[in-house]
């Protein structure tokens, strides 16, 4: 993803690539030169990035998945000092889907059963995906954690990511769906988040905030 973000930045007239950090590189130099930092590394690298953005008081956009509880706690602590946009899925469409699902679940109530299905490529290890869990959390938050959500998981081919949320009652069915055709969507979302985070107050934000405000 880092290379995709770097390539996208070069195509944007209002953006300039300050640097790319690798394990052997000087992280402080890269962060110091930047107005905003984008992290698509690995969970073990994110800890170093969090320390650096706090040291240099720089906004952070983090799309690293698989963070454990301790790493999420570190992210929370950093967000008390600098603006942090964290999301398990940087897609703009998924942010809209989450917002819509949250609103629909709150409006329809417990008479509707909810099922979330997702399909990804064969190489994806986590199941359900982070995005599916994110959608389930949106439903739980909207319904006060009442009711159950059923997950359906499929792994096949090289599917970048398909998600569907079905809300079903005895008399009707409502379906929300989103498909990724290229992983470029995550780079595009990260750059939109980076623009939004610049000049923002310290705090922990998500793509839902970027699109709909907080």
**Residue 176: strand pairing partners:** 165
Q: Is 49 left (phi over 0), alpha (psi -120 to 50) or beta?
A: alpha
| Exposure class string for 59-69: b at 16+ Cβ within 10 A, else e | bbbbbbeebee
- Beta strands 161-168; 173-180: pairing state: antiparallel
**Residue 117: strand pairing partners:** 152, 164
Q: What is the DSSP letter of 143?
A: T
Q: What is the DSSP letter of 36?
A: S
Distance of CA 208 to the CA centre of its chain: 9
Distance of CA 105 to the CA centre of its chain: 21
Catalytic residues: 120, 124
CB 119 within 8 A of CB 156: yes
- For residue 205, give the nearest of 94, 82, 105, 98 by alpha carbon: 82
Q: Which secondary-structure segment (H or E) carries 37?
A: strand 37-39
């Amino acid at each position: 993803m880092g290379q995709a973000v770097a390539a996208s930045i070069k195509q944007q007239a209002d953006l300039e690539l300050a640097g790319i950090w690798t394990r052997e590189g000087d992280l402080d130099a890269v962060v110091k030169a930047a107005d905003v930092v984008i992290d698509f590394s690995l969970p073990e690298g994110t800890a170093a990035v969090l320390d650096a953005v706090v040291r240099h008081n720089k906004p952070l956009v983090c799309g690293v998945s698989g963070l454990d509880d301790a790493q999420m706690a570190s992210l929370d602590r950093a967000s008390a000092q600098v603006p942090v946009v964290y999301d398990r899925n940087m897609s703009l469409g998924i942010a809209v889907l989450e917002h819509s699902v949250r609103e629909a679940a709150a409006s329809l109530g417990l008479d509707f059963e909810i099922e979330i299905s997702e399909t990804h490529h064969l190489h994806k290890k986590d199941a359900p995906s982070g995005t599916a869990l994110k959608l389930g959390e949106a439903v739980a938050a909207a319904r006060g954690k009442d009711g159950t959500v059923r997950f359906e998981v499929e792994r096949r081919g090289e599917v970048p990511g398909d998600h569907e949320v079905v809300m079903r009652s005895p008399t009707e069915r409502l379906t929300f769906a989103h498909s990724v055709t290229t992983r470029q969507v995550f780079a595009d979302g990260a750059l939109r988040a980076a623009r939004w985070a610049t000049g923002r107050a310290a705090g922990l934000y998500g793509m839902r905030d970027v699109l709909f405000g907080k």
